[in-house]
Amino acid sequence: MDIAVVGAGSLGSLLGGMLAREHDVTLVGREPHVGTVQREGLDVVGVESFRVDPAARTDVPDSADLAIVAVKSGDTAAAADALADCALDACLSVQNGIGNEETLAASLSCPVLAGTCTYGARLDGPGRVDFTGRGEVVLGPRAGGESAIADEVGAAFRAAGVETTVAADMPTRLWEKLAVNAAVNATTALARVENGALADGPGRELAADAARETARVARKAGIDLSDDRAVSLTERVVRDTAANRSSMLQDVAAGRRTEIDAINGYVADRAAGRAPVNETLTRLIRLWEARD
Q: What residues between 190 and 219 interact with ligand KPL by CB under 6 A?
A: 195
Tell whether the torsion through CA atoms of 241, 126, 44 and 152 is positive or negative: positive
Segment contacting ligand KPL by CB under 6 A, of 35-43, 153-161, 215-223, 240-248: 240-248
- Position 244 contacts ligand KPL (CB under 6 A): yes
Mention every residue, 6+ apart, whose C-beta is less than 8 A from residue 171. 114, 142, 143, 144, 223
Instruction: Using DSSP bridges, classify how beta strands 55-57 and 87-93 pair: parallel, antiparallel or unpaired.
Output: unpaired
Cα–Cα distance for residue pair 25/228, rounded to 1 Å:
39
Kindly state the smallest distance separating residue 195's Cβ from ligand KPL, in Å.
Answer: 5
Q: Which of 120, 140, 141, 154 touches ligand KPL (CB under 6 A)?
A: 120
Q: Which of 26, 95, 100, 118 touches ligand KPL (CB under 6 A)?
A: 118
- Position 241 contacts ligand KPL (CB under 6 A): yes
**C-beta closer to ligand KPL: residue 47 or 159:** 47
Q: How are strands ordered across the β-sheet holding 42-46? A: 50-52, 42-46, 128-133, 120-125
Catalytic residue among 122, 128, 142, 177: 177
Kindly state the smallest distance separating residue 237's Cβ from ligand KPL, in Å.
Answer: 5
- Position 184 contacts ligand KPL (CB under 6 A): yes
- Position 185 contacts ligand KPL (CB under 6 A): yes
**C-beta closer to ligand KPL: residue 236 or 283:** 236
Q: Which of 26, 93, 214, 246 touches ligand KPL (CB under 6 A)?
A: 246
Mention every residue, 6+ apart, whose C-beta is less than 8 A from residue 235. 199, 204
Q: What residues between 28 and 87 interact with ligand KPL by CB under 6 A?
A: none
Tell me whether residue 220 is one of the annotated catalytic residues.
Answer: no
- Position 96 contacts ligand KPL (CB under 6 A): yes
- Position 234 contacts ligand KPL (CB under 6 A): no
Q: What residues between 256 and 275 interact with ligand KPL by CB under 6 A?
A: none
Cα–Cα distance for residue pair 123/251, rounded to 1 Å:
11
Cα–Cα distance for residue pair 175/98, rounded to 1 Å:
7
Tell me the site size for ligand KPL, rule CB under 6 A: 13
In 3-state terms, what secondary structure has residue 39?
A: helix
Tell whether the torsion through CA atoms of 212, 219, 139 and 65 is positive or negative: negative
Residue spans of alpha helices (H) in the chain: 10-19, 33-40, 76-83, 100-107, 148-159, 170-191, 201-220, 227-240, 247-253, 264-271, 276-289
Binding site for ligand KPL (CB under 6 A): 96, 118, 120, 180-181, 184-185, 195, 237, 241, 244, 246-247
Catalogue the active-site residues: 177
